[in-house]
Each structure stands twice: as C-alpha cells, then as structure tokens.
Structure 1
Amino acid sequence: MTTVTFYKGFHILVIKEKSFGRKYKMLAAVVPVLNEEKRVKKTLETLLSLPSDLIVPVINGSSDNSGSIIRQIKSPRVLPLEFIEPLGIDIPRAVGAKVALDRGATAVLFVDGDMNGNIAGNLRELVAKLWGNGADMALTDCYPGEYQASLSSLAFEVLNARTKLNKAIGLNGSIGAASPSHGPHAVSRRLLQSVPLRELAIPPVSLGLAVKKNLKIIVGTTIPHKALGSPDKDPVHSELIAQTIIGDCAEALYAFRNEKRRRIFNDVEYNGYHPQRRWDLLEDFCQGKYKNPGS
C-alpha cells in the first residue's frame, strides 16, 4: 500500500494519465476521514468488497488513530492521503477526485468515513447506474416519502432547501429532494472533466453545474438515513451542518443562474461550516505545488 503524506507543504505522487478505450472501466472510491477510528475500518472493508480498483481515504485533521487503522489495511487498492490540518467540509471530496481522475477512474464513489451501514449492495447499484444506464451522477434518496413525515424541523428545513434547488434547476420531478450533500453518490469521468473539481467541494453547486452541462443525473438507490450507519450528531453540529447545506443550495442556485454567488435563502445568510473550507490547500493540491517534507 502506498501512502502519500501532506503537510503545509505537499509531498505528492506524480501520476500519469491512463489511456483507455471505450470499454475500459475503473472504479475509484473517495472517503473523507476526520476522527473516524471507530468506524472507518468497516467502511473500507465494505468498499474492498466491491470491484473497486482504487480507494482514496482523505485523512485530514484527525487527532485519533484513524490514520494508523487505515495504514494497517494491507491492500494495494488503498491509497491514503493524509493532511495534518482539517480541510473543511467536502474539500476532501475534491482532493480525492483529483487523484481518481489522474489515475484514470471512469467512475468515482463518494462515501463518508463514518458510513458503516450494510450498504454494499446500494453502492453497487450506484455504480451500475453509471456503467449500465449512462448516468453521470447517481444519487442516494435518504428520505423516501414514508420517512419525511417523521422528520425534525431542522431536517425538514434542509430538505425544503434541497427541493427548491432541484425544482429550480429542472430536476425535482426526477430526483425529488436527493442531493450529493447527503448519502453516497457516484459520478462519471465525464462529469469530473466537465465540472471544475473545486465545485465538488460544494456538492449542490456541482449538481447545478452538471445540469448546465446537460449531464444525466438520476437517483441510483435508496438508503433511509438511519441505515447509512452514521452516528447521531450533537445539536450544535447538526445545526451547523444544516446551515452549511442550506447555504450551499442557495449558492448553487446563483451559480446555476450565472449570478454573483451568495448564500442567502429566504433573506437569511447561511454559512455554517463554509468559512472553514480550506480552498487554499485544495488549490495548492490541484496545482501540484509541493515541497518534500524532508528537504
């Protein structure tokens, strides 16, 4: 297993683009990891049970044993990246997608490091929608109709923002309230080459821009939220996550309309964890700026 370690300066693999024909298929999985020592092993075992060619755990800001647990998994398919500093919410997706794209992946799964539910079959469905149905983004419906009646007021507020965005970009009839912000999802190589990688760090924006590129977006599977296996969040964290997603949906709508981006929804600005996103580290990574830590 090859490990790539990142500091404030970067030590990075130089990866050559693969050449491949129309029948070539390569599945990569990107796994954001922040203090997931109790859950990440099972998540990676689930991904290893799939026909995945590359699994990229993006360890960032972890102060627990997540890194050492991942490094103990002796599989050549696992390529952990480790940042000392937290990258912020969703930035690890863009980092991992960059590696997957450079390695030649034709499909990329995004699965959070704490999702240790029995979801292997669902992940297979997502990939099948890309390779078998020609989809460019296959989403998970985490709130099927029968579950929406029991939502908390906070969850309903988030779902409302997601629904309004999907309706505005012409997708409400086909994907309902599904969003790349919630649950595993898969994207095609075509999407990664059509939408700027940095936009993956604001998932609803990547959704809106994919629509503008006339890419095919569908719901690929259904996993009720509780079946994801993610731990319950404390009220403060839940509130900040909600504010982040609502703000992301607002920003996505402005981006879709080619307007100056704002994070205002119903006259309220929603930031949540958005200010903690480390765009500087993502930019340095994507531009290949690095220095050898030993130099």
Structure 2
Amino acid sequence: MRPSQGKQTGQRRTRSVQKTLRPIKNRAPRRGPGHNKRPSARSVSVQRNTARGAIKNTNESVTARRDVSLIIPAHNEASTLAKILPRLATWSEVKEVIVVANACTDATVDVAARFGAKVIHLSEKLGHDTGRAIGAKHASGEFLLFLDGDIAWTRNDLRPFIGALREGADVAVNRYPLPTDRTYHHPTSVAKRALNLALQHPEWAASSMTTVPHGMRKSALEVIGWQNLAIPPLAFTAAVLGGLAIKRPKYVNVGKRNRLRSRAARDYSVKDVILGDHVQALAYLLSQRGVRGGFPDGTRDRSNLSQSDDDWFAPTLSALSQSFSSIGQFRSAAVIPAHNEKQALPGVLKEVSKLKLSRVLVVENGSNDGTEKLDGNDEITVWHFARPLGHDVGRSIGARAVRHYHCVLFVDGDFRISHRSLIPFRDAVLWGNTDLALNDLGRKLPLDHKRDPVSTMKSLLNLFLRRPDLDLTSLTAVPHALSQRALQTIPTEDLSVPPKAYVRAVLAGLEINPVHYVDVVTTNRRRPLLHAVQNGSQLAQMIIGDHLEAISVLVAQRGLRGGFEQPRRLDVLESLDEPQ
C-alpha cells in the first residue's frame, strides 16, 4: 500500500495509526482557513520553449543519452536561474529542464522560458516541496533529478547522482549533513537521523530526500506515488519499504550554499513542517511494520502487567500497600528492580537508605547469583519473582504498589548512585511542584554520545512533543522521581516502556523538569549481550522500538502529523490527478 499524505490542515484524533493512512485517491483533503478556492488543473500553465539555450536533439548518439529530467521548483529565483540554466540546459544528458514557478512576482518565468525550460506556472504559493511532485508528474525522462532554484548548481555537483542511477540505484540522495557539519544536530537533522534508525539503516546518518540534490528513476514513482514527493520523508519511507535500491553517491554541502530566507517571507515554520513530515513518515512505517516498527521488545514479560491487583500476586501487593499507607504525612518510596545484582545491590541500598524514605521496594526477578536470597527488614521490602521480568517491567510492578505515595524514586540495582545525587529528585517532587523529576543528561553529555541511536531517539521525541528545552531528558534514564499525580495519571503498565509513559505525561500536561545531572553512561555496568555492537546492540534496538511505540501514542492523540501544521497545497496535486 502506498502512503497517503494526510489531511491538509487540522489533525483529527484517531484511535489507531492504521486508520490514519489511506490511499490519497480515495479522499479529498480538507482545506484549511484561507483556502476556500480549489484551484483546478486548468490553473497550471505549461510552457515549452525552443528559445536561446533550449535543449535540441541534433546528434543521434547524444540523443540516446538525453534521458534526464531536471526538476526545479522556484519562487522568485530569476537571478539564480539566469546563472544555472545556460549550463544545465546544454548538458548532454539532459532531456528537459522543468521549472515549477509558483507565485512568482519577478522574472522567473521569463528567464526559464528564455533558456528553453518547460515552465509550469502557478499563480498561488504551493508550500514546501509541492513543486517537486508537480514537476515529477510532468517529467518524461527516465531519470529525475530534483534541485532547488536558489542554489547555483554545477554539473560536477550533479553527475554522481545521475551516475548512481545509471548503475542501478532507484534513488540517489545527498550525504549531507555529515557529523562534522554544524547542522548535524539541528532539529531537522535529528529527525532525519531518527527516521533512518527506524528504517534500520543507521549507516545513512542524516541523508534524506528532504535534502537536494537527489534523484530517482521515473519507474520508482510507481512504488512511491508522485504526490508523496511533496512530503519527502514519507516518500523516502515508501521507497525503503517498497524495496527500492538507495545509494548516497556524493556529499554536497547545501547548508553553506542555500539562500537564507526570512521567516516573515512565509506564514509557517519550515522546521515545524519538516518535523511534522517525519511524524507522518513514522506513522506510515508503524502502519506497515507494527506498533514497534519491527524492533524487538527485548526480554520483557508483559503478561504480568495485564493482570489486575486481584490476580496471583495480590496477597503480597495488598500487604505492601497497607504497610506503606500507614507511614508518615509525606510518604516517599523507592523502587529498585534487580536481576542478578548480588555485587552492586548492597551499595545501591546503602545509598538509598540514607534518604530516610518511608519504604524501599526491591523487585527481585529471576536471579540465580544469590540476589534471590535477599531478605527484607523494617525499611526494605523485597518482592521475589521466579522468572526474569525483562527490561523495566519491575518499575511497573513496583509502581503499582506505591502509586498512592507522594513521591516515588526509581533507581536501578546494577550501579550505585550517591544519595547526594538522589536528593534533588526527591525534593523536586516533594517541595518543587514537579511531577516528573528527570536526569538532566543533555547538560553534560559529550557530543559524541548525543549522536548515538538512543540519544537521537530521545531528542527526537522531545522535538515531536514540542519540548526542545528538555533535550535528552527521558524516563528511560535513571534516576528519576514521580509524583503521586503522575503515578495516578500514567498507566503503571506503561512505565515498562519508559518513552511511552513519558508521552502520556506530556500529553496530560504534567510538570516535567530536568533537575540534576547524574552520569549513568560511564558508571552503568556493561552487559555484553545487551550493549555490544557485535551482538546487534540489543539494548539500543529495544529502546528505538520503545520510542516508536511512544510515537504511536502521540499519533493516536494528536493526529497523523503529531499536531504539526500542513501548509502545503496538496489539493493542487489532487486536481492534477483528476481525469481531464
């Protein structure tokens, strides 16, 4: 199934990702405010010219190679087109240059016509990238190369992309940006990197069809759908899921060469549009590969989470809740999952005990190193499970027992954190009006760690939630503390998938603050089966899946684009697709 582009404005809440995606032909998009007039295909004028500099097929041997359509959307780019069209229109491999001129008030149309371009002239602004789709619809070449009209391209910039297509690639994209580029950590680059991680191609870094130049075979449109070129990440996702061969033949630094435009020149944020495009692309991915995007759930045993308090562990839970509820005016607790932590757990408990909490709950599960022999006392309750619960499930089970407490601190049993570093989390909840007190990892984490898959997904989720101020803050990392309101708002079973619980908290309007930095990267006990690259980075794969599962919640609540606007005139594309 091809992806659909979604509605033009206003994201309706939906119950599932799958229901938000339908083929574009089956429905007309809703037009937003100010778009009362639906332009018809007749409002699109196409001019073909044989003026000075026009493409002429006079040599048969050369004619056989004239199979490239150059597609250049342009809004008031007369001066740049006057520089590049003479060299592009006479390029021996170029069959046609298509200039999609939208709402131009300068000489763009005249300049394009003077140099023999096929001009598609629209009187209204189309919005970002829509001209690419229109140009592709009208292209006749075997290979399509997409450019922007505000960059002075050279043939050397473009030859590698055409070469890659001739050598068998279906799609050829720019390698820009590289990790050494200053734009590599820009929000749009984070989204591109995260999409490639979700598509299981981390080697592509931040390469994307959002960036020009890029090219494709005309036949690739049968898989992608020409309309979807208006939403480049959606088109890119369709290409990958459709099995097309994608190559990255060259690095072209368009960041240095792209003309900066004032925000006042348009009534929308390009950054927000691109972020919305990536939400939409990931929503399509989830509709095709499932709620976790095909990523593993690790060793989690979620069967325990589906049981109510009255099921098989009810007696222990009931006694535990009663003992907790009888302690103190401001009750605080700690939950510590532990699996085979005989060496580290005593040190963890020693530091936590210094906080003078009302109760400490250890959720021991499936241990065989002696941890299972740990006994409780007046301050510590140990809850034993015969089988391993898997990653973070112990948090959910512990939280269910203490959800009526004013503050619950979550730490792991595999490494010791000083009680002095834990105090800010407790105090932020008890006296700081904070619902989620989180580890401020982004403040001191080295730049190379911010590029890793887990950090990339954390950053992406905060961007999608419109909380860029939270940077790498996440419920995935310990330590963190939750308020009573948070524990009664977030379903406790969602705490076993921390990013999912995090999205619930943001959508519910809970107060979230990064309160203190604790280094959990270098101090965390390394487990070869989970962390090693040669073992497939199982932990990273699971956490990527966690974030995709969280994004499915966001899409279900805020719509196909996660609440980001869609300013493009997608109705123009549908009018072009109607029978004439």
* Fold shared per TM-score above 0.5: yes
User: Match for 2:408 among 108, 121, 127?
Assistant: 108
Task: Give the equivalent residue in structure 2 for 1:166.
Answer: 462
Q: Does residue 330 of structure 2 align to residue 25 of structure 1? A: yes
- Is the contact between residue 365 and residue 372 of structure 2 (CA under 8 Å) also seen in structure 1? no
- Is the contact between residue 139 and residue 186 of structure 1 (CA under 8 Å) also seen in structure 2? yes
Q: Runs of 5+ in structure 1 lacking a partner? A: 1-5, 260-295
Letter matched to residue 467 of structure 2: L
User: Match for 2:388 among 86, 93, 96?
Assistant: 86
Q: Does residue 365 of structure 2 align to residue 60 of structure 1? A: yes
Task: Give the equivalent residue in structure 2 for 1:240.
Answer: 538
Q: Does residue 519 of structure 2 align to residue 217 of structure 1? A: no
Deviations 1:144-195 (A, max 9, x none): 34x3224396xx111011100011112221x211111112100001011111
Q: Does residue 534 of structure 2 align to residue 253 of structure 1? A: no
- Is the contact between residue 143 and residue 224 of structure 1 (CA under 8 Å) also seen in structure 2? no
Task: Give the equivalent residue in structure 2 for 1:292.
Answer: none
Task: Give the equivalent residue in structure 2 for 1:46.
Answer: 351
Percent identical among aligned pairs is 26
Deviations 1:178-230 (A, max 9, x none): 11111210000101111111011110111100111110011011012346x32
- Is the contact between residue 55 and residue 78 of structure 1 (CA under 8 Å) also seen in structure 2? yes
Q: Runs of 5+ in structure 2 lacking a partner? A: 1-303, 305-310, 558-580
Q: Does residue 315 of structure 2 align to residue 12 of structure 1? A: yes
Task: Give the equivalent residue in structure 1 for 2:482.
Answer: 187
Deviations 1:59-80 (A, max 9, x none): 0111111122x31x6x311011
Letter matched to residue 112 of structure 1: D
Task: Give the equivalent residue in structure 1 for 2:439.
Answer: 140
Question: How far apart, CA to CA, are the structure 1 residues paired with 2:502 and 2:368?
Answer: 32
Q: Does residue 375 of structure 2 align to residue 76 of structure 1? A: no
Q: Does residue 419 of structure 2 align to residue 120 of structure 1? A: yes
State the 1:143 CA deviation: 4.6
Question: How far apart, CA to CA, are the structure 1 residues paired with 2:520 and 2:462?
Answer: 19
Moved more, 234-243 or 107-116: 234-243
Letter matched to residue 106 of structure 1: H
**Given the superposition, is the C-alpha separation of residues 78 and 19 from structure 1 closer, same or farther in structure 2, using an over 3 Å criterion?**
closer
Question: How far apart, CA to CA, are the structure 2 residues paired with 1:141 and 1:132?
Answer: 19
Moved more, 250-259 or 162-171: 250-259
State the 1:115 CA deviation: 2.1
State the 1:9 CA deviation: 4.7
Deviations 1:4-29 (A, max 9, x none): xx9x9546332466879xx9311110
Q: Does residue 422 of structure 2 align to residue 129 of structure 1? A: no
Task: Give the equivalent residue in structure 2 for 1:272.
Answer: none
Greater relative contact order: 1 or 2 (C-alpha under 8 angstroms, separation 6 or more)?
Answer: 1
Deviations 1:205-257 (A, max 9, x none): 11100111110011011012346x32123264451111111111111111022
**Given the superposition, is the C-alpha separation of residues 189 and 176 from structure 1 closer, same or farther in structure 2, using an over 3 Å criterion?**
same
- Is the contact between residue 126 and residue 220 of structure 1 (CA under 8 Å) also seen in structure 2? yes
Deviations 1:14-70 (A, max 9, x none): 2466879xx9311110001000001000001111110211111000111111122x3
Letter matched to residue 243 of structure 1: Q
**Given the superposition, is the C-alpha separation of residues 28 and 167 from structure 1 closer, same or farther in structure 2, using an over 3 Å criterion?**
same
Question: How far apart, CA to CA, are the structure 2 residues paired with 1:136 and 1:237?
Answer: 31
TM-score, normalising length from structure 2?
A: 0.39
**Given the superposition, is the C-alpha separation of residues 127 and 152 from structure 1 closer, same or farther in structure 2, using an over 3 Å criterion?**
closer
Question: How far apart, CA to CA, are the structure 1 residues paired with 2:472 and 2:509?
Answer: 19
- Is the contact between residue 438 and residue 515 of structure 2 (CA under 8 Å) also seen in structure 1? yes
- Is the contact between residue 26 and residue 106 of structure 1 (CA under 8 Å) also seen in structure 2? yes
Task: Give the equivalent residue in structure 2 for 1:231.
Answer: 525
State the 1:141 CA deviation: 2.2
Deviations 1:112-138 (A, max 9, x none): 001214x21121100111122111001
Question: How far apart, CA to CA, are the structure 2 residues paired with 1:105 and 1:11?
Answer: 19
Q: Does residue 342 of structure 2 align to residue 37 of structure 1? A: yes
Question: How far apart, CA to CA, are the structure 2 residues paired with 1:122 and 1:31?
Answer: 16
* Corresponding residue pairs, total: 241
Question: How far apart, CA to CA, are the structure 1 residues paired with 2:338 and 2:530?
Answer: 20
TM-score, normalising length from structure 1?
A: 0.75
Q: Does residue 495 of structure 2 align to residue 196 of structure 1? A: no
Question: How far apart, CA to CA, are the structure 2 residues paired with 1:100 and 1:93?
Answer: 11
- Is the contact between residue 125 and residue 221 of structure 1 (CA under 8 Å) also seen in structure 2? yes
Question: How far apart, CA to CA, are the structure 1 residues paired with 2:492 and 2:530?
Answer: 30
Letter matched to residue 230 of structure 1: N
CA-based RMSD of the aligned residues comes to 2.5
Question: How far apart, CA to CA, are the structure 2 residues paired with 1:249 and 1:217?
Answer: 18
- Is the contact between residue 31 and residue 57 of structure 1 (CA under 8 Å) also seen in structure 2? yes
- Is the contact between residue 433 and residue 511 of structure 2 (CA under 8 Å) also seen in structure 1? yes
**Given the superposition, is the C-alpha separation of residues 176 and 80 from structure 1 closer, same or farther in structure 2, using an over 3 Å criterion?**
same
**Given the superposition, is the C-alpha separation of residues 125 and 210 from structure 1 closer, same or farther in structure 2, using an over 3 Å criterion?**
same
**Given the superposition, is the C-alpha separation of residues 152 and 141 from structure 1 closer, same or farther in structure 2, using an over 3 Å criterion?**
closer
- Is the contact between residue 442 and residue 471 of structure 2 (CA under 8 Å) also seen in structure 1? no
